[in-house]
Amino acid sequence: MRFTTITSPHSDRPNSVRKTMLLVILALMPGAAAMIWFFGWGILINMLLASVTAVACEALAMRLRKRPVLPVVGDFSAVLTALLFAVAVPPLLPWWLTVLGVAFAILMVKQIYGGLGYNPFNPAMAAYVLLLVSYPVQMTSWLPPAMLNEYPLTFLQSASVIFTGALPDGLDWDTLTMATPLDAMFTQLDQSRMLSEILTQPLWGDFGGRGWEWAGNWFLLGGLFLLYKRVISWHIPVSMLGSLLVIAMLFHFLDQEAYPFGMFHIFTGGTLLGAFFIATDPVSACTTRKGQLLYGASIGLLVFIIRTWGGYPDAVAFAVLLMNMAAPTIDYYTQPRAFGHPGAGRD
C-alpha cells in the first residue's frame, strides 16, 4: 500500500489549521456584515487594512527568521487576528493606529514567542488593550448606530477620514461620534442617575445598545455554527456567558436601579464576540474540559467586575488577557486522571 507521506501519520488530519481558520473567518462574517451595516463602511476599510498589514508583518517575520513564507501566511491565522481586531475597534480609527495595533499583534505578541501555537496571549486582544490604554480618545470615538446616525458617511468619506483625518464639510468629531452604550450606561450610573431613567433614552433597544444587540445576534449565530462544526467546544462560551449572566442577575435583583439586567451585559459591547471567537482561542485558552469551564466562568466574572467597578466598561479584552496568564496554571491542576488510575474517564 502506498502512502502519501513516508512517516506516520499517513492520513490527512480532518481539521487542518488552514481549514479551522477559514471556518472561523466564515463564521465571523455575519457579525462583521452586521457591524458594517450598523456602523458604516469604516469597519470594512479597517478589515481590509488590518488584513493587508497582518499578512505583510507575518511575511516579514518569516523572512527575518529565514523560514518559508507561504505555508505560514497561507494558514490564514494572521488574517483571522486582523479581522477580530478590526471588528473590535471604532470604524473611523486613524489608519496608522490600525497598522500599529496589527503590527504589534503579529510581531510582538505572536511571532516573538515563536509563531502560531506559542503565543501566551490572544494577539488581537493584546493589540486592542495596547491602543485603548495608549490612545483612549481615538479608541472610544464610535459612530452612532445607523438608526440614530444623522450624518451617515459614504465609503469614500469614511476612507478620507481614516487616511487623512479630514472630516466632511460642516461636521466635527463631536457631531459625528458618540460614546458607546457601555460608556454611556456606566458614566450615567456613576452620576447617580437611575437605570429606569437611563433606559428611556433612544440609545437603548430591547436588551442592549441599539445596533450592538443586533450585531451580537449575528456573532451568536456564527458561534453556533462553530459549535455545530465542532471547531470549538461549548465549555468556554457557555461558562463565560453563564457566569456573567448569573452574577449580573444577582446584583440586578439586589438593586434594580443601580445594576443593569443580565441580558444587557450579554448583548452590549463585545461579549458575544469574545465568548465565541476570542476566549476560545485554542492557543491561549485552557485545554482541559474542567479547566475550560473554570477559565470561561472566570472571564465572565472578570467582565462584570471590570465593567461595574473598573475604568474600562467594555472589559472583555482585559478579562481574556488576565485569564490567558492563568490558563497554564489552570491546565496544570485540572489534568484528567491517567487511564488505569481511580477516577479516570470522569473528566
d(CA 98, CA 46): 7
d(CA 102, CA 82): 6
Please identify which residue in the block is written with the cell numbers 450592538.
212
d(CA 13, CA 247): 41
End-to-end CA separation in angstroms for the chain? 38
Are residues 142 and 178 in contact, defined by beta-carbon separation less than 8 angstroms? yes
What does the pLDDT look like over 95-145, one tens digit per residue? 999 999 999 999 999 999 888 888 899 999 999 999 999 999 899 888 888
What does the pLDDT look like over 159-215, one tens digit per residue? 999 999 888 887 888 888 888 888 888 888 888 888 888 888 888 888 888 888 899
d(CA 267, CA 301): 16
Are residues 129 and 318 in contact, defined by beta-carbon separation less than 8 angstroms? yes
Q: How far is CA 343 from CA 286, 329, 333, in A?
A: 21, 21, 15
Please identify which residue in the block is written with the cell numbers 445607523.
146
Paired residues of 209 in beta bridges: 204
Are residues 105 and 140 in contact, defined by beta-carbon separation less than 8 angstroms? no
Are residues 294 and 287 in contact, defined by beta-carbon separation less than 8 angstroms? no
Q: How far is CA 52 from CA 58, 81, 117, 144, 173, in A?
A: 10, 12, 22, 27, 27
Q: Does the CA dihedral 129-182-320-255 come out positive or negative? A: positive
Quick one: how many helices (H) and strands (E) in the chain?
Answer: 17, 0
d(CA 292, CA 312): 25
Q: How far is CA 319 from CA 302, 324, 343, in A?
A: 5, 9, 32
What does the pLDDT look like over 320-346, one tens digit per residue? 999 999 999 999 998 877 766 666 555
Please identify which residue in the block is written with the cell numbers 450610573.
189
Q: What's this model's pTM, rounded to 2 decimal places?
A: 0.90
d(CA 92, CA 89): 9
d(CA 280, CA 106): 18
Q: Is 138 exposed, middle or buried (0-12, 13-18, 19+ CB in 10 A)?
A: middle
Model confidence band, residue 1 (pLDDT cutoffs 50, 70, 90):
low
Model confidence band, residue 307 (pLDDT cutoffs 50, 70, 90):
very high
Computed over every residue of the chain, the mean pLDDT equals 89
Paired residues of 203 in beta bridges: none
For residue 37, give the nearest of 176, 145, 151 by alpha carbon. Answer: 145
For residue 235, give the nearest of 331, 109, 332, 118 by alpha carbon. Answer: 331
Mean pLDDT is lowest, of 30-39, 165-174, 299-308, for 165-174
Model confidence band, residue 68 (pLDDT cutoffs 50, 70, 90):
confident
Q: Is 253 exposed, middle or buried (0-12, 13-18, 19+ CB in 10 A)?
A: exposed
d(CA 265, CA 269): 8
d(CA 152, CA 144): 9
The grid coordinates listed for 91 are: 470604524
